[in-house]
Amino acid sequence: MPEPAPAAPGRKGSPHSRPRLAFGEALRTSRSEIAGHWLRSLLTLVGVFLGSLAVVIMVSFAEALKVMVWQGIKSLGYNGVMFISERTPQLPFERKKITESRGLGVRDIRALGEWSTSYEGVAAMNLTQTVVRALGQEQRVWVFGVNPAYATVRNRTVSAGRWIDAGDELEHRKVAIVGHDLATTLFGTDNPVGKQIRIGDQVMHVIGVGEQLGNTFANDGGDSWTQREMEGVVIPLETFRAYIRGGERIGVIMIKTPETENLGAVRDETERLMRRAHHGVGDFEVENVASEILRAEAQIKEVLRSWTVILTSLAAISLLVGGVGIYSVMKISLTERLYEIGLRKAIGAGDNTILLQFLIESSTLSALGGLLGCGVGALLCRALAGFFPTGLPVSPLGLALGVGFAIAVGLFAGIFPSLSASRLTPVEALRG
Q: Do residues 328 and 413 touch, judged by C-beta distance below 8 A?
A: no
Q: What pLDDT, on the 0 to 100 scale, is given for residue 299? A: 84
Whether 193 shows a pLDDT value over 70: the answer reads: yes
Q: What pLDDT, on the 0 to 100 scale, is given for residue 236? A: 96
Confidence band for 427, pLDDT divided at 50, 70 and 90: low
Whether 13 shows a pLDDT value over 50: the answer reads: no
Segment 184-200 mean pLDDT: 92
- Mean pLDDT: which of 8-12, 57-61, 231-235, 297-301 is highest? 231-235
Whether 11 shows a pLDDT value over 50: the answer reads: no
- Mean pLDDT: which of 102-111, 140-149, 279-288 is highest? 140-149
- Answer whether 0.85 is exceeded by the pTM: no
pLDDT one-digit tens code per residue, 369-399: 888 888 998 898 888 887 777 778 888 878 8
Confidence band for 10, pLDDT divided at 50, 70 and 90: very low
Tell me how crowded residue 277 is: count the other CB atoms within 10 A of its CB: 20
Whether 19 shows a pLDDT value over 60: the answer reads: no
Segment 39-58 mean pLDDT: 79
Q: Do residues 10 and 21 touch, judged by C-beta distance below 8 A?
A: yes
pLDDT one-digit tens code per residue, 112-122: 988 888 889 99
Confidence band for 142, pLDDT divided at 50, 70 and 90: very high
Q: What pLDDT, on the 0 to 100 scale, is given for residue 364? A: 78
Upper half-sphere CA count for residue 119 (Cβ side, 13 Å):
27
What is the percent of the chain where pLDDT is above 70?
Answer: 80
Angle at 138 between CA 135 and CA 142, to 5 degrees: 125
Q: What pLDDT, on the 0 to 100 scale, is given for residue 222? A: 56
Q: What pLDDT, on the 0 to 100 scale, is given for residue 8? A: 45
Whether 140 shows a pLDDT value over 90: the answer reads: yes
Segment 338-354 mean pLDDT: 70
pLDDT one-digit tens code per residue, 194-239: 999 999 899 999 999 999 887 666 666 655 778 888 999 999 999 9
Q: What pLDDT, on the 0 to 100 scale, is given for residue 75? A: 79
Confidence band for 430, pLDDT divided at 50, 70 and 90: low
Q: Do residues 148 and 169 touch, judged by C-beta distance below 8 A?
A: yes
Q: What pLDDT, on the 0 to 100 scale, is given for residue 310? A: 81
Segment 128-151 mean pLDDT: 92
Q: Which residue has the higher pLDDT, 205 or 402?
A: 205
Whether 5 shows a pLDDT value over 60: the answer reads: no
Q: What pLDDT, on the 0 to 100 scale, is given for residue 15? A: 47
Angle at 313 between CA 309 and CA 317, to 5 degrees: 180
Q: What pLDDT, on the 0 to 100 scale, is given for residue 158? A: 93
Lowest mean pLDDT among 268-272, 353-357, 367-371: 353-357
Query: Which residues of 170-307 form beta strands (DSSP E)?
Result: 175-178, 196-199, 202-210, 233-236, 252-256, 284-287
Lowest mean pLDDT among 207-221, 251-265, 333-347, 366-380: 333-347
The CA-based diameter of the chain, rounded to the nearest angstrom, is 124
The burial class, CB within 10 Å (0-12 / 13-18 / 19+), for 389 is middle
Q: Give the Cα separation of 160 and 214 in Å (integer).
A: 18
What is the percent of the chain where pLDDT is above 90?
Answer: 24
Confidence band for 22, pLDDT divided at 50, 70 and 90: low
Q: What 3-state class would DSSP assign to 146?
A: strand
Q: What pLDDT, on the 0 to 100 scale, is given for residue 23? A: 57
Q: What 3-state class would DSSP assign to 287?
A: strand
Mean pLDDT of the chain: 80
- Mean pLDDT: which of 41-50, 185-194, 296-305, 327-336 is highest? 185-194
